[in-house]
């Protein structure tokens, strides 16, 4: 067991620059981009499309529950850890085989969504009349399932490819940069595309962009740890011992490694991005109701929003390398929820381009920072041999509560509208989402006192810095 020290040693800037020249960093950037393409297309951006088609806010909120696939991925993560992908696994290896399969299925699902479209009506399929919105929702669920599977294996590849904690921080920042770049494409540029060529064709273009992930998968090298795990004798998966090792083993290893602090870590992770998740489904409908043209939203997000995101990611990555994951996590716990207050002010101020731009800058910087902070911290908590399953568990905890509660976001805004204008209801809603970030902030403070306080009896892990 590693000995806990009061202040870990951090690398100099020369070592950071050397790591930037490694090919795996470029691959990580492309994989991060591929990972970020589908999520808004079945979430926040989809809300804009549906609102323009006259779909009610409550329905938009409920359909966001397809995103629960991202929070339940720990249920099938053991299969990704222990089995090769059908057909492709023998050719590409375990990690890369699952990457390519999930990318192809996600692209096919996005094309299906583009063809069906979210409108009220009947769809004739093989002689049967089906509710068109239901079929659309099923296709969105397929995209979410395959996309979350892609996330499982990309996260595992990232963690297993790092040679040190410092390089893990670099790969995490690089992955987040690619991921946030994809979010800007699917949350901003797509609005400009939709204004000129329609939503359906825009979604087909987004499906083609998953080809970036295919290229990265073919360029990537299978991690040495994965190859060794695949060739090391272990109980067959579909035996009592094999199932126990695949499903229960990762959780036991996590609690054995972190001891009594494990529950506090999981609780912190589960609450950390709750404000962002709850607010998410209502952001784009809010812009539509505010009267801001979607091409304006896209232009601002794709310009100053992009710059703010890159700066936020870079600052968080440098903070993680220089000060460690836990202090960076604490800073993100303040910045993330605080950015929601900018939207509350925007709702009361009205459709002013300057105020909207300022809100976008604040939101993109803060969320870029908080995203890197949380991903880096979660990555530092995993164990070799259970990487995919443990990280899937942590990322599921990080999103589960938010994905459940965000389904009621539309109902909340409609309820707050009673006796108020719609924009006043939006403003109160955004303030409420900021307030629910306070518990996570308090838990982060406790983690900081653990890191820099008296020794915890040896139950802590040196990796959790």
DSSP 260-295: GGHHHHHHHHHHHTHHHHHHHHHHHHHHHHHT--HH
Supply the DSSP symbol for 129: E
Tell me which H or E stretch contains 363: helix 353-379
Question: CA-to-CA distance for 102 and 108, rounded, in angstroms?
Answer: 10
Number of neighbouring beta carbons within 10 Å of residue 54: 9
* pLDDT at position 47: 84
- H helices of 42-86, in order, are 44-52, 57-63, 68-71, 77-82
What Å distances lie between residue 396 and 224, 329, 334, 437, CA to CA?
Answer: 26, 18, 22, 18
Question: CA-to-CA distance for 389 and 395, rounded, in angstroms?
Answer: 10
What Å distances lie between residue 24 and 98, 140, 167, 223, CA to CA?
Answer: 18, 31, 11, 10
Closest Cα partner for 152 from 391, 371, 397, 378?
391
pTM, entire model: 0.66
* pLDDT at position 458: 35
* pLDDT at position 459: 35
What's the N-to-C CA distance of the chain in angstroms? 15
* pLDDT at position 170: 76
pLDDT-flagged residues of the chain (< 70): 1-21, 123-127, 129, 165-167, 224-250, 383-389, 392, 451-465
List 129's β-bridge partners, or say none.
124
Question: CA-to-CA distance for 337 and 429, rounded, in angstroms?
Answer: 13
Q: What is the three-class DSSP state of 7?
A: coil
Closest Cα partner for 436 from 332, 336, 328, 326?
336
């Amino acid at each position: 067991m590693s000995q806990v020290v009061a202040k870990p040693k951090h690398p100099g800037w020369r070592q950071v620059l050397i790591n930037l020249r490694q090919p795996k960093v470029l691959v990580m950037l492309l994989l991060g981009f591929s990972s970020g393409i589908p999520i808004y297309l079945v979430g926040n951006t989809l809300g804009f499309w549906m609102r323009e088609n006259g779909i009610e806010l409550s329905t938009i909120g409920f359909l966001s529950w397809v995103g629960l696939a991202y929070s339940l991925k720990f249920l099938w993560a053991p299969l990704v850890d222990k089995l090769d992908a059908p057909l492709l696994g023998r050719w590409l290896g375990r990690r890369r085989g699952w990457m390519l399969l999930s990318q192809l299925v996600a692209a096919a699902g996005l094309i299906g969504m583009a063809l069906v479209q979210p409108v009220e009506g009947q769809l004739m399929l093989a002689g049967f009349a089906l509710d068109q919105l239901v079929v659309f929702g099923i296709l969105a669920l397929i995209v979410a399932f395959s996309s979350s599977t892609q996330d499982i294996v990309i996260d595992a590849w990232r963690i297993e490819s790092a040679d040190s904690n410092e390089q893990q921080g670099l790969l995490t920042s690089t992955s987040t940069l690619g991921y946030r770049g994809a979010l800007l494409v699917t949350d901003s540029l797509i609005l400009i595309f939709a204004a000129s060529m329609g939503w359906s064709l825009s979604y087909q273009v987004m499906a083609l962009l998953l080809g970036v992930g295919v290229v990265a998968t073919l360029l990537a090298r299978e991690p040495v740890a994965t190859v060794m795990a695949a060739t090391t004798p272990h109980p067959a998966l579909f035996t009592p011992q094999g199932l126990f090792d695949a499903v229960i083993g990762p959780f036991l290893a996590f609690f054995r490694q972190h001891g009594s602090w494990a529950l506090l870590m999981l609780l912190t992770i589960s609450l950390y991005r709750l404000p962002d998740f709850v607010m998410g489904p209502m952001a784009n409908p809010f812009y539509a109701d505010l009267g801001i043209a979607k091409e304006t939203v896209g232009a601002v997000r794709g310009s100053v929003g992009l710059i703010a995101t890159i700066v936020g990611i870079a600052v968080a990555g440098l903070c993680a390398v220089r000060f460690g994951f836990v202090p960076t996590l604490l800073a993100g716990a303040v910045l993330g929820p605080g950015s929601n207050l900018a939207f509350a002010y925007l709702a009361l101020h009205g459709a002013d381009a300057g105020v909207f731009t300022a809100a976008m800058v604040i939101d993109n910087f803060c969320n870029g920072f908080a995203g890197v902070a949380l991903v880096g911290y979660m990555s530092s908590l995993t164990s070799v041999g259970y990487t995919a399953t443990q990280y899937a568990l942590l990322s599921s905890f990080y999103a589960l509560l938010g994905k459940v509660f965000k389904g009621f976001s539309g109902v909340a805004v409609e309820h707050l509208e009673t006796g108020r204008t719609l924009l006043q209801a939006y403003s109160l809603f955004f303030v409420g989402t900021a307030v629910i970030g306070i518990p996570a902030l308090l838990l982060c403070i406790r983690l900081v006192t653990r890191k820099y306080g008296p020794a915890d009896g040896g139950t802590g892990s040196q990796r959790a810095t």
